[in-house]
């Protein structure tokens, strides 16, 4: 018999069975304990573009293990710390743009500004080149990144709702679009060729992946990754260094084509999620002045004698972590996590058998908004994520970046971009709502979106 406490429903989406699992202990089985059964996502390799199939986000099986083992160390705190100064510099460019807005209209579009800033950071830290997105609306990096993201969201929904045979008939065979993907692929291939010929070492992500050919020594087993991650300080998701023939299948490094694929997916996966989270964070702070003041006080108290906030201090600001965590709870980047059963599987003690090939969905958005796990779930209350309150948080009820071995590898990079930008903004400005600031958000504005009217027309006023 299925327990009354188990929320596990079978739905039919266009005649395709979907099992929705929302019980925390069962979620753990799906994404961690029995990850070997549910390691693949909904789109099969034949449904993906070559770039997607080679990337850590889209690879499957042994290829995924090998790519993940190489890519994960690139996003470790020690290496991210070396990019802090560059991100800080680009945040200053963003603030300069806000200065102009504050003097002219006194308002800013948080989505547009966030997308421009994130574009410049990804291009600089990812590929060692320069974007002018903050000052040029026609910047090619910005234009192509926006197109990739908007197309990806549409095709992601198609993956959820349209059977494979119909996707092929409609020629929807990829989460991305060829033209914009080719733009970044050709750019990165050119940069890679120049670097391989020069023999110089670079500290951006592409350079670190090239260097990893000589440094690779990390393996990953099914239960190694952080299984349940709350944003807290500078913790590192755990990686095993034990011998693993599974992770070392094939060459213990990335091919040129695989390096290029990781760079393309850094744009595809990192642009929209990071920019939207930063924009939603600004939106919530504009609507919650007491939270904004408390965050300002923490930031102001962390400034050193040189007027700066060092990397090791920035990554350990508890209230900043709590505000970011609560933003991600209310506005989760991906509303559901989807996996496909690799074989017939008995789901815990529920009496349910999941047949091979069946889709399993974890409704992240619904869990994050459930009063069962979060009192006053629609209220923005960062204190729920402070250390003294974390005992109230139930494992596997907070999954903004997924969980288990497929936890987003670029999560820490996204956090750093968001924290640096928000600290820079709050140090200098007060954010407040205007008559045009919508609250509560309606419909698809609650989800990941690039709609201009999500956070448009927030007031931005200089602090005295």
User: Which residues are within 8 A (CB) of 49 and not within 5 positions of it... i.e. 6 or more apart?
Assistant: 173, 174, 175, 176, 178, 181
Q: How far apart are CA 200 and CA 157, in angstroms?
A: 42
Question: Burial level of 88, CB count in 10 A (0-12/13-18/19+)?
Answer: middle
**125 annotated binding-site participant:** no
pLDDT computed for residue 174 by the predictor: 52
Q: How far apart are CA 273 and CA 275, in angstroms?
A: 6
Position with higher pLDDT, 419 vs 404 = 419
Give pLDDT tens digits for 104-122: 777 888 899 999 999 999 9
Give, in degrees to the nearest 5, the angle at Cα 389 between 388 and 390.
Answer: 100
Helix ranges, 216-310 (H): 256-287, 289-302
What confidence tier does 177 reach under pLDDT thresholds 50, 70, 90? low
Residue 159's closest CA among 19, 394, 359, 405? 359
**Which domains are seen in the chain, by residue range?**
8-462 (1.10.630.10)
pLDDT computed for residue 219 by the predictor: 43
User: Which residues are within 8 A (CB) of 72 and not within 5 positions of it... i.e. 6 or more apart?
Assistant: 218, 220, 237, 239, 409
pLDDT computed for residue 166 by the predictor: 57
Phi, psi of 376 (to 5 degrees): 50, 60
Q: How far apart are CA 174 and CA 186, in angstroms?
A: 18
What confidence tier does 18 reach under pLDDT thresholds 50, 70, 90? confident
pLDDT beyond 70 at 133:
yes
pLDDT computed for residue 44 by the predictor: 55
Pairing of strands 16-21, 359-362: parallel
Sheet holding 8-13, edge to edge: 8-13, 16-21, 359-362, 337-340
* β-strand partners of 338: 361
What confidence tier does 225 reach under pLDDT thresholds 50, 70, 90? very low
Q: How far apart are CA 69 and CA 247, in angstroms?
A: 7
pLDDT computed for residue 250 by the predictor: 52
Q: What is the pTM of this model?
A: 0.86
pLDDT computed for residue 112 by the predictor: 92
Q: Which segment of 208-212, 267-271, 329-333, 460-464 scores lowest on mean pLDDT?
A: 460-464
pLDDT beyond 50 at 381:
yes
Q: How far apart are CA 174 and CA 152, in angstroms?
A: 8
Strand ranges inside 30-110, DSSP E: 107-108
């Amino acid at each position: 018999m299925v327990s009354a406490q188990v929320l596990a429903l079978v739905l039919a989406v266009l005649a395709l069975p979907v099992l929705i699992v929302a019980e925390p202990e069962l979620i753990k089985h799906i994404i961690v304990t029995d990850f070997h059964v549910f390691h693949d996502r909904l789109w099969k390799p034949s449904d993906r573009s070559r770039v997607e199939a080679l990337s850590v986000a889209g690879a499957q099986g042994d290829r995924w293990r090998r790519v993940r083992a190489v890519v994960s160390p690139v996003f470790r705190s020690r290496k991210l710390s070396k990019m802090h100064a560059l991100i800080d510099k680009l945040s200053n460019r963003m603030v300069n743009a806000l200065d102009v807005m504050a003097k002219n209209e006194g308002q800013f579009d948080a989505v547009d500004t966030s997308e421009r800033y994130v574009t410049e950071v990804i291009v600089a830290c990812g590929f060692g080149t320069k974007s002018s997105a903050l000052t040029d609306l026609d910047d090619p990096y910005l234009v192509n990144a926006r197109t990739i993201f908007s197309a990806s969201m549409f095709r992601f929904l198609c993956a959820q709702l349209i059977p494979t045979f119909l996707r092929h008939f409609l020629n929807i065979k990829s989460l991305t679009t060829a033209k914009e993907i080719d733009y970044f692929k050709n750019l990165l291939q050119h940069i890679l060729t120049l670097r391989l010929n020069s023999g110089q070492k670079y500290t951006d992500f592409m350079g670190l992946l090239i260097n990893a050919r000589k440094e690779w020594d990390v393996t990953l087993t099914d239960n190694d990754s952080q299984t349940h991650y709350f944003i807290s300080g500078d913790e590192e998701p755990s990686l095993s260094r034990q011998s693993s023939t599974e992770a070392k299948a094939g060459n213990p490094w990335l091919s040129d084509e695989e390096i290029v694929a990781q760079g393309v997916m850094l744009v595809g996966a990192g642009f929209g999620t990071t920019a939207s989270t930063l924009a939603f964070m600004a939106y919530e702070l504009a609507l919650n002045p007491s939270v904004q003041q408390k965050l300002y006080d923490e930031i102001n108290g962390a400034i050193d004698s040189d007027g700066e906030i060092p990397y090791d201090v920035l990554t350990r600001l508890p209230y900043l972590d709590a505000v970011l965590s609560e933003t991600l709870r209310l506005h989760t980047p991906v509303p559901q996590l989807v996996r496909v059963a690799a074989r017939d599987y008995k789901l815990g003690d529920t009496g349910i058998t999941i047949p091979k090939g069946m889709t399993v969905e974890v409704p992240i958005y619904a869990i994050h908004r459930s009063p069962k796990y979060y009192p006053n779930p629609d209220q923005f209350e960062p204190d729920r994520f402070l250390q003294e309150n974390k005992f109230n948080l139930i494992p596997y009820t907070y999954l903004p970046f997924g969980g288990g071995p497929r936890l987003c590898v670029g999560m820490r990079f996204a956090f750093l971009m968001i924290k640096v930008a928000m600290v820079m903004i709050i140090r200098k400005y007060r954010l407040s709502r205007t008559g045009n600031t919508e609250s509560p958000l309606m419909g698809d504005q609650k989800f990941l979106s690039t709609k201009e009217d999500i956070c448009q027309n927030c007031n931005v006023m200089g602090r005295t």
